[in-house]
Structure 1
Amino acid sequence: MTRAQRKLILPATLAALVVAVIVLAPVLPLPDVRSMDVPNRFAGPSATHWLGQDEFGRDVLARLIWGGRASLFIAVGSALAAAVIGTVLGLLGGYFRGLVEFVTVRAAEVILCLPPLLLALLVVTILGAGTWPLILALTILYTPIYARVVYSATLQVRSLDYVTAQKAMGAYPLRILATTVLPNVMPPLLVQISLVVASAMLIESGLSFLGLGVVPPTPSWGLMIQAARGSMEVAPMLLLWPSLALAGTILTFNFLCDRLQTALDPRGITAGGALWLRGGGSRGAVPRSARRAAAPKQDTLLEVEGMSIAAQNAGTSLELVRRVSVTVRRGETVALVGESGSGKSITGLALTGLLPDALSITGGDVRFVARDGEEIDLGALDEAGFRRIRSGEISMVFQDAAASLNPVLRIGEQVAEALRAHGGARGRDVDARVVELLRQVGLPDPERRARAYPHELSGGQRQRAMIAVAVANNPRLLIADEPTTALDPTIQAQILELFRSLKKATPDMGLIFITHDLAVVAEIADRVTVMYAGEVVEDGPADEVFAHPHHPYTAALLASVPEGGTDRLVAIPGTVPLPDAMPEGCRFAPRCSHARDVCRTGSPPTSHPTPERRTRCVRWKEIA
């Protein structure tokens, strides 16, 4: 039992005792709450009446217990009803946005403009006093509060990578909301439930005190407080008991929900927590419209020719990547290199069909050779087509493993999810395959790590787990988007060694390694593709590019890092231009010390110094 679970014992026991006493009131040996003994009214505690008798001689303890049934039923019933309705509204509005958000969340917020007590009074006045009208009034009152809390939490979760991964695997939106988004918004929801129960009990007591709540002779704490108010001078203890019961119950439930939040939040526990099972999906074939007869170049796995990516907004188009060409052969590691904003990550996302909705491929040819030897036009695939080849044919390792791994799922469950979603092992074979994968990526004690949550692993271990998810189905092409950026040098070296070992274990797998770290490129890459401002400016074998760069940007990158071999480090002046402010001619010209007038007047053509090398510089011979 974890520390968080041990802390849950006391409040859970107290809450259970309160609920048990109230629920078991009909079978407890209590006097009739309606039986009056007027001659003995205001009598003090005795062996027969432990808490004394009220203004009509009725047993105070019996009325206190029976009164708790009405007060607790109204408070908890309205809180749960409002929680269900408000959670649904918040999830739908936060996930789908747009018109759905207006109809759900914004419409519900109108109720927040009304004073709470006056709104409850209005509903009770229209429908009449009683238990069910009071529950309806409180449900209407608290639903917008839940909707706003869940809406805010959903906005934070919906853009994270593990939600994107669910979309990429083809999960239906309602399933994503129920199994991925909802568990991550549960902690603030539990806190809100405790606050609403407390507030509802107070409002119920207040309305009953005013005669607009529970109808006599049914007892409630509010009615007991109302009756005791008129006899405070004669029997002040009659006011104390319902007040203590009300305050104690509210504090108990607040205490319970506070500890329950910690116990159910995977970031605060080491075992237990919210376990959400995943169903498997079937793996289908890629649509024939995206397939062509196999005629690829020998050993070519991926060939990108002249691919352009643009952002579409209100009828205008802004080009972010222009005429990019990349080739990956079987068993080859190609490094995409460049500063932030050069278009590396967008290129990788385009190859896996994970571009944001506002971006799309607007030109070029993207051909991928599938496992069966047929050629797939990735540019012609829709989301369903990409879904069928992700993980099994093409997979991706993201930069931030903490955002990519679902915090409410154990590591083993997330690896198993990738296996099931793409027709991998079933039943007990899944657990064995998960442990095997975690061992393959170098996680110590893989059996234990499979039961751990992401927050229990270090940064390097999380990245290894992310890699295990990516290679679970033995992809033909693996794209790694800066997987070592947030790690310290020692862990970086370990992750690079892991990629090398994966390449040895699967010699036919191609690897695109996206990075801005030239030291990493020198260790792992066979070929280098240098990008600047959305264009490929140089491409060639890694050792040749490092030894003799043919583009001033590549030379400047090498001169700006300690591993470049230069006697003195040189900073590259200026910054990468914004997509809507690209210069005429060569895009690197404003920052280039070799630029001439010809560089600023027209886009430089692609030159081929050797059959294996390309460069977009008219002065490449002088640079070399």
Structure 2
Amino acid sequence: MSRSTRKLLLPGGIVLALVTVLLLAPLLPLHDVRAMDIPNRFAGPSAAHWLGQDEFGRDVLARLIWGGRASLFIAVGSALAAATIGTLLGLLGGYFRGVVEVLTVRAAEVLLCLPPLLLALLVVTILGAGTWPLILALTLLYTPNYARVAYAATLQVRGLDYVTAQRAMGAPPLTILGRTILPNVLPPLLVQMSLVVASAMVIESGLSFLGLGVVPPTPSWGLMIRAARGAMEQAPMLLVWPSLALAGTILTFNLLCDRLQTALDPREVTKGGALWMRRPGRRKTAAARRPGAADDNGPLVEIRNLAISVGRTPQIDLVRRAMLTVMPGETVALVGESGSGKTLTSLALLGLLPDQLRVSAGEMRYRTRDGAVLDLAQLDEEAFRALRGPEVSMVFQDAAAALNPVHRVGDQLAEALRAGGLTGERAVQARVVELLRHVGIPDPERRRRAYPHELSGGQRQRAMIALAVANSPRLLVADEPTTALDPTIQAQILDLFRKLKTDTPDMGLIFVTHDLAVVSELADRVVVMYAGEVVETGPVAEVFARPKHPYTAALIASVPEGAADQLRAIPGSVPPPHDMPPGCRFAPRCDHALPQCTSRVPETSHPEASRSSRCIRWKEVC
């Protein structure tokens, strides 16, 4: 038993005992809470009445237990109802944004303009005092709080790579919300639950104290405090018992939820899993695809004049006139400085652009296994979902962010396999072990039960690669998969990619990187991007030996080589998208720039049949 789990024993035991006693109240040998014994009013504790008798001679212990039953039922019932409604509103608003956000989160926040107690009084005044009107009032009161917490947590999680990876696997939005985002936003919701239960019990007691809550003769702790206030001099203990019960219950619930948050943190869970992490039952999946023979003579991917934009008035092009071709079995490297558009271009191929961006022009032609040619620029999310996994897949840069921290590595692989059509639990688990072994993770039978944080950086990246190739895609996009790794692990990951290429010779690979040494080791052709434009393409050996664009030459010159005394840095920096220079975008940093370079946009030239350069002076670049 872990330390965090042991910490749950005390508050969990107290809450369990309290709830058990309250639930079993009808079966316990308690006095009738309505039975009066006027001659013995204010009597002290005795063998028959352990906590004494109140102002009407009623048994205090019996009223305390039945009163707790009413108070806790109202508080927990309203907290759960508010949690369900508010969390749903927050998840939908935070994930879909736009109009959905206005209709969910922003609409719920209107209730926050009203003072809490006045809102509760308004509902109770309209519907009358009683248990159910009070639950409704408290539900309306606390729903916006849950909505805001869930909304804020969803905004933090929705942009992380492991959520994007779920979309890449083709998971529908509701599945992503329920299985991926909800478990990750649950800990702050638990804290909110403890606060709401505590606050609801206080408000219920306050309203009952004012005579607007629980209706007599049903007992509640608020009613008991109200009655005891007039008899403080005669029987002060009548005020102590319900006050102690109220304060103790609130503190215990706060302590339980605080420790429950720690226990359910995926970084604290190393065995057994949290409640939502347990393996789901088997489910039926669609039959595996049986693709026909593809035309190997045509390109696998062909991008023509691609433009990726943000905004509409004005429209800012983050990528423009991008050209890229990948043949079956070919490895193409996308290189360039940060902000050159490499990652955006690769994300567009999988339909994973951020919500604010869109493909505004151009074509992205992809040839499927059965030979059909699709324009990826025209596909909607549902069509992309059918392609991701079995046709196109992606290895993300940060495996720690791409792998879901609340699910075991093997479970995430199994989910991808089921989404790809593999059926039968035994076959799925065997394939999981096979994939982990194939990418070089030692002891795959044991490692498949590990959480991402229990793996080293290199092992996480291998698991990410296994997830990407689980359904044998025809096109694999790798977004700087070696950037955050040390040189030794980088070399191992590159060896793994070479092995994957050998094992799947027909798979096309787009390798996004800024490391030219990696390009020279792995790629067949290179595509150089600058400020959102493709400036040069060609076979790696030819481009590195004889670059035909000043930017490519500057990149090569900035790489440390041999016994060079100093590096040649490229002056200046990549211009921001909203302030691009006229004409050639590299002209302000170029040693070969002429006045005409800033007066018109250079056209693409073809120095050789297999090469291209977007420079008017390509003949003079060495």
TM-score bracket for this pair, using the shorter chain length:
over 0.9
Match of 1:110 in 2: 110
Match of 1:338 in 2: 336
Deviation at 1:173, TM superposition (A): 3.1
**C-alpha distance in structure 1 between counterparts of 2:340 and 2:58, whole Å:** 81
Of the three residues 577, 598, 604, the one matched with 2:602 is 604
Q: Which amino acid aligns with 1:614?
A: S
- Indicate the SS of the match to 1:63: helix
The superposition leaves residues 111-131 of structure 1 with CA deviations (integer Å, 9 ceiling, x where unpaired) of: 222222222222223322222
Does the aligned pair in 2 maintain the 1:309–1:359 contact within 8 Å? Answer: no
Match of 1:463 in 2: 461
**C-alpha distance in structure 2 between counterparts of 1:280 and 1:487, whole Å:** 39
**C-alpha distance in structure 2 between counterparts of 1:362 and 1:114, whole Å:** 44
**C-alpha distance in structure 1 between counterparts of 2:535 and 2:160, whole Å:** 32
Does the aligned pair in 1 maintain the 2:393–2:468 contact within 8 Å? Answer: yes
Deviation at 1:22, TM superposition (A): 1.1
- Indicate the SS of the match to 1:146: helix
Q: Which amino acid aligns with 1:228?
A: A
Alignment of 1:405-444 (within 5 A): 405-444=403-442
Alignment of 1:340-379 (within 5 A): 340-379=338-377
- Indicate the SS of the match to 1:537: strand
Does the aligned pair in 1 maintain the 2:36–2:56 contact within 8 Å? Answer: yes
Q: Which range is displaced more, 308-317 or 483-492?
A: 308-317
Which stretches in structure 2 are left out of the alignment for 5+ residues? none
For the aligned residues, what is the CA RMSD?
A: 2.6
Alignment of 1:104-183 (within 5 A): 104-183=104-183
Deviation at 1:468, TM superposition (A): 0.9
Does the aligned pair in 2 maintain the 1:75–1:204 contact within 8 Å? Answer: yes
- Indicate the SS of the match to 1:356: coil
Alignment of 1:111-260 (within 5 A): 111-260=111-260
The 1:331/1:97 distance shift into structure 2, 3 A limit, reads closer
Deviation at 1:362, TM superposition (A): 4.5
- Indicate the SS of the match to 2:7: helix
Alignment of 1:12-91 (within 5 A): 12-91=12-91
Deviation at 1:348, TM superposition (A): 1.0
Q: Which amino acid aligns with 1:81?
A: A
The 1:479/1:366 distance shift into structure 2, 3 A limit, reads same
**C-alpha distance in structure 1 between counterparts of 2:357 and 2:234, whole Å:** 77
TM-score (ref. length: structure 1): 0.92
Q: Which range is displaced more, 163-172 or 124-133?
A: 163-172
**C-alpha distance in structure 1 between counterparts of 2:93 and 2:321, whole Å:** 38
Deviation at 1:445, TM superposition (A): 2.4
**C-alpha distance in structure 2 between counterparts of 1:204 and 1:380, whole Å:** 56
Q: Which amino acid aligns with 2:302?
A: E
- Indicate the SS of the match to 2:324: strand
- Indicate the SS of the match to 2:267: helix
Match of 1:590 in 2: 588
Match of 2:100 in 1: 100
Q: Which range is displaced more, 474-483 or 232-241?
A: 232-241
The 1:593/1:281 distance shift into structure 2, 3 A limit, reads farther
The 1:466/1:148 distance shift into structure 2, 3 A limit, reads same
Does the aligned pair in 2 maintain the 1:190–1:261 contact within 8 Å? Answer: yes
The 1:95/1:280 distance shift into structure 2, 3 A limit, reads farther
**C-alpha distance in structure 2 between counterparts of 1:16 and 1:617, whole Å:** 75
The superposition leaves residues 127-166 of structure 1 with CA deviations (integer Å, 9 ceiling, x where unpaired) of: 2222222222212211221121112222222233333344
- Indicate the SS of the match to 1:259: helix
- Indicate the SS of the match to 1:562: coil
Deviation at 1:579, TM superposition (A): 2.9
Deviation at 1:484, TM superposition (A): 1.5
The superposition leaves residues 562-619 of structure 1 with CA deviations (integer Å, 9 ceiling, x where unpaired) of: 2487542011111112334333332211101122234333333434444333323333
The superposition leaves residues 286-328 of structure 1 with CA deviations (integer Å, 9 ceiling, x where unpaired) of: 99xxx9x976646x43333x33213153355433323333232
**C-alpha distance in structure 2 between counterparts of 1:301 and 1:129, whole Å:** 70
Match of 2:511 in 1: 513
- Indicate the SS of the match to 1:452: coil
Match of 2:270 in 1: 270
How many residues align structurally?
Answer: 618
- Indicate the SS of the match to 2:43: coil
Match of 2:483 in 1: 485
Deviation at 1:337, TM superposition (A): 0.6
The answer to whether residue 9 in structure 2 is matched with residue 9 in structure 1 is yes
**C-alpha distance in structure 2 between counterparts of 1:294 and 1:330, whole Å:** 10
Q: Which amino acid aligns with 2:385?
A: R
The superposition leaves residues 459-506 of structure 1 with CA deviations (integer Å, 9 ceiling, x where unpaired) of: 322222111110001112211011122223332222222212222222
TM-score (ref. length: structure 2): 0.92
**C-alpha distance in structure 1 between counterparts of 2:91 and 2:602, whole Å:** 50
- Indicate the SS of the match to 1:423: coil
Match of 2:301 in 1: 302
The 1:339/1:312 distance shift into structure 2, 3 A limit, reads closer
**C-alpha distance in structure 1 between counterparts of 2:129 and 2:58, whole Å:** 24
Deviation at 1:537, TM superposition (A): 1.9
Does the aligned pair in 2 maintain the 1:529–1:538 contact within 8 Å? Answer: yes
**C-alpha distance in structure 1 between counterparts of 2:87 and 2:379, whole Å:** 35
**C-alpha distance in structure 1 between counterparts of 2:113 and 2:219, whole Å:** 33
The 1:89/1:46 distance shift into structure 2, 3 A limit, reads same
The superposition leaves residues 45-92 of structure 1 with CA deviations (integer Å, 9 ceiling, x where unpaired) of: 222222222222222212211111111111111111111222222222
Does the aligned pair in 2 maintain the 1:334–1:528 contact within 8 Å? Answer: yes
Does the aligned pair in 1 maintain the 2:571–2:589 contact within 8 Å? Answer: yes
The superposition leaves residues 424-452 of structure 1 with CA deviations (integer Å, 9 ceiling, x where unpaired) of: 34321101111111121122322232222
**C-alpha distance in structure 2 between counterparts of 1:472 and 1:307, whole Å:** 32
Q: Which amino acid aligns with 2:544?
A: F
The 1:360/1:565 distance shift into structure 2, 3 A limit, reads farther
The superposition leaves residues 196-222 of structure 1 with CA deviations (integer Å, 9 ceiling, x where unpaired) of: 111111111112222222222222111
Deviation at 1:532, TM superposition (A): 1.1
**C-alpha distance in structure 1 between counterparts of 2:600 and 2:501, whole Å:** 41
- Indicate the SS of the match to 2:177: helix
Alignment of 1:278-293 (within 5 A): 282=286
**C-alpha distance in structure 2 between counterparts of 1:326 and 1:564, whole Å:** 32
Match of 1:383 in 2: 381
**C-alpha distance in structure 2 between counterparts of 1:370 and 1:326, whole Å:** 17
Q: Which amino acid aligns with 2:17?
A: L
Q: Which amino acid aligns with 1:559?
A: A
Does the aligned pair in 1 maintain the 2:537–2:612 contact within 8 Å? Answer: yes
Identical pairs, percent: 72
**C-alpha distance in structure 1 between counterparts of 2:296 and 2:365, whole Å:** 9
Which stretches in structure 1 are left out of the alignment for 5+ residues? none
Match of 2:399 in 1: 401
- Indicate the SS of the match to 2:277: coil
Q: Which amino acid aligns with 1:78?
A: S
**C-alpha distance in structure 2 between counterparts of 1:412 and 1:350, whole Å:** 28
**C-alpha distance in structure 2 between counterparts of 1:368 and 1:121, whole Å:** 62
The 1:27/1:296 distance shift into structure 2, 3 A limit, reads closer
**C-alpha distance in structure 2 between counterparts of 1:286 and 1:607, whole Å:** 42
Match of 1:543 in 2: 541
The answer to whether residue 527 in structure 2 is matched with residue 529 in structure 1 is yes
- Indicate the SS of the match to 2:478: strand
**C-alpha distance in structure 2 between counterparts of 1:387 and 1:433, whole Å:** 22
Match of 2:497 in 1: 499
The superposition leaves residues 170-193 of structure 1 with CA deviations (integer Å, 9 ceiling, x where unpaired) of: 444333322222222211111111
- Indicate the SS of the match to 2:30: coil
**C-alpha distance in structure 1 between counterparts of 2:539 and 2:161, whole Å:** 33
